[in-house]
Amino acid sequence: MGRCQGRWVIDREYGRQFRAIMLRTAPPNTAEGMKKYLASGLIKGIGPAMAGRLVDAFDVQVFEVIEQTPARLLEVDGIGKGRQGKIVSAWNDQKAVREIMVFLHGHGVSTSRAFRIFKTYGEQSIEKVTEDPYRLARDIWGIGFKTADLIAEKLGIGKQSDLRARAGVEFVLYELTENGHCALSREGLSKNSQAMLEIPPEIIESAIEYGLTEKRLVQGKNDKGETLVYLAPYEAAERKLAENLVALSKGDHPCPDVDVIKAIAWVEKRIGFSLAPAQKEAIDLAVKSKVHGHHGGTGRGKNDPGECNRPGACGQEAGRGFVRPDRQSGQANV
């Protein structure tokens, strides 16, 4: 059971639907649900074992007993005056929290995630989640689009809603960052979003425009004139990285002149193996350019040129380190 506020709308796919603005569920009305709630850790003085004893003693009247006839708690084995007072005090303190947690539990949110939601939104948790459950993926670490999507479905938000399309577009871009991409062509973003979300192109295009207007997305062109779309933080990071590299490249190289061919031959003898032509080119570039980078998967020999550029490795003349990515952590090492 529950109370809801909202309005009737006509959905393109499902026809007349009720769009909830505020939805409040009633507390658990089964003994099992009440036991889980009491065992969640919200009420000081009640753990899993005590929750079981309370429900065994009072069945589905347990909430009513705690709130209206707390003296009856003394009937339960293990509850004395001190513990009874602690339970009643915690129950009263948690009334607002309790309503929020019951609401979140009723929509499939685990206790640990519900705590994070309450910590983020406080007493506005129910209002904010019902207004836009997809904000959870943006605001709270550990909650992604797929979890928010399940909550949205339970709240009755349509699969082709603007809210879902807007959040889904950002999710598609975020998934690409996991593979090392910072942006996607606008056409590619639209097609990928349509395929993943099963939403018509006109709604996806509207969602992209909304993201650009709200400055959650940034649009630009590459050197081929292709329109690219970024998540705003990644566009800012890419632009700042480019600015920093340009700044680092200016000025004189810190290394003195080095006979690279001679130095490489000397270091190969010292380390006991020969470098590949591309690795030799990397070393040559390192002693001539203030900034350069190289990339590749694990085991591709990225670290070997770095060994040759350690201080003293190519003779004391080299005298400088070499910036390279670490194999395991992906961080830059010098």
pLDDT at 83 over 90: yes
Determine the average pLDDT of the residues in 113-125.
88
Residue pair 19/162 in contact by the 8 Å Cβ criterion: no
Give yes or no for residue 316 having a pLDDT over 50: no
In this predicted structure, the answer to whether residue 159 has a pLDDT above a threshold of 60 is yes
pLDDT at 54 (0 to 100): 94
pLDDT of residue 302: 54
So what's the pLDDT on residue 300? 55
Task: Say if residue 89 is exposed, middle or buried (CB neighbours under 10 Å; 0-12, 13-18, 19+).
Answer: middle
CA distance 287 to 271: 19
Q: Residue 271 above 90 pLDDT?
A: no
Of 181, 281, 296, nearest to 238 by C-alpha is 181
pTM: 0.57
- Which distant-in-sequence residues (6+ apart) come within 8 Å of 1 by Cβ? 25, 26, 29
Q: How many helices (H) and strands (E) does the chain have?
A: 16, 7
Contact between 229 and 189 (Cβ < 8 Å)? yes
Higher pLDDT, 329 or 30: 30
- DSSP calls for 224-278: T--EEEEEHHHHHHHHHHHHHHHHHHSS--SSPP--HHHHHHHHHHHHTSPPPHH
Average pLDDT on 30-36 reads: 88
Q: Which residue has the tokens 């009440």?
A: 34
Instruction: Report the SS3 class of residue 25.
Output: strand
**Dihedral angle at the C-alpha atoms of 33, 29, 64, 3, nearest 10 degrees?**
120
Which pLDDT belongs to residue 20? 62
Q: What is the mean pLDDT of the chain?
A: 82
Q: In 3D, which of 263, 252, 247 has the Cα closest to residue 307?
A: 263
Q: What is the pLDDT of residues 173-217, one digit of tens each?
A: 998 888 888 899 999 999 999 999 999 999 999 999 999 999 999
